[in-house]
A and B are shown apart, each in its own frame.
Chain A
Amino acid sequence: AQSVTQLGSHVSVSEGALVLLRCNYSSSVPPYLFWYVQYPNQGLQLLLKYTSAATLVKGINGFEAEFKKSETSFHLTKPSAHMSDAAEYFCAVSVSYSSASKIIFGSGTRLSIRP
């Protein structure tokens, strides 16, 4: 069965520092992987997605993620944190049906940015 595990429920970095949010996946077939961001009291916004076209995926707001099959990882990074990046981040994997899919979410990582 497909699943994702997010390491660290809370990450705090200084403004301007590197952001690294960790995600490991489990899948018996090539996975579709996603990172979503959720700002307080809002819905989910797709940051980026991996669909096997390229291992390094660039998303919105300067985020990117690298798919590493050997490590079963899909960590999210941003070179320089901004105060507006403070939010909850969810890694997710898609479980496919014949014509659609459902998404399995990780437990989330809350990112805090220190001034």
Chain B
Amino acid sequence: NAGVMQNPRHLVRRRGQEARLRCSPMKGHSHVYWYRQLPEEGLKFMVYLQKENIIDESGMPKERFSAEFPKEGPSILRIQQVVRGDSAAYFCASSPPRVQEQFFGPGTRLTVL
């Protein structure tokens, strides 16, 4: 059983461009979570999704950020019009229903020039 997959592992964007980060959960996991780790800081919760539903987006910035987890395909975290402050590592985690433990992917490191 493959672990949580994230791609790309590294992403470089110029200010004003769009960034798309992908996350494929582990097989059988219907819950996906996105976390952001700013340099020298801990991980901060962004959003929790189930298939085709956003359950909790209390950690998402109000503008430019969106997330989806379609019926088919990976979960996507989309950042529009990136700014330098968006530079961070973005981690995806997944879990099956009614399980407290989450399994983390290797992360996508976004650099905004």
Contact = CB atoms under 8 A, between A and B. Distances in A.
B58 to A, nearest CB: 9
A43 interface: yes
A99 B97 contact: yes
Interface residues of B, number: 27
A105 B52 CA distance: 26
Interface in B51-102: 55-56, 91, 93, 95, 97-102
B44 interface: yes
Given A42-B106, A100-B95, A107 B42 contact: yes
A51 B55 CA distance: 24
A105 B43 contact: yes
A102 B54 CA distance: 13
Contacts, number: 61
A32 B91 contact: no
B91 A44 contact: yes
Given A90-B43, A102-B48, A46 B101 contact: yes
Interface in B1-45: 31, 33, 35, 41-45
Nearest to A41: B109
A38 to B, nearest CB: 9
Contacts of A45: 104
Contacts of B42: 90, 105-108
Contact of A107 (B41, B50, B95): B41
Measured as residues with beta carbon below 8 angstroms from the partner, the interface class of chain A is 20 to 34
Contact of B102 (A42, A90, A96, A103): A103
Interface string A82-102: 000000001000101101111
Interface of B: 31, 33, 35, 41-45, 48, 50, 55-56, 91, 93, 95, 97-107, 109
29 contacts: A41-B109, A42-B106, A42-B107, A43-B91, A43-B105, A43-B106, A44-B43, A44-B91, A45-B104, A46-B101, A46-B103, A51-B100, A96-B100, A97-B48, A99-B31, A100-B48, A100-B97, A100-B99, A101-B102, A102-B33, A102-B48, A102-B56, A103-B33, A103-B43, A103-B45, A103-B102, A104-B45, A105-B35, A105-B42
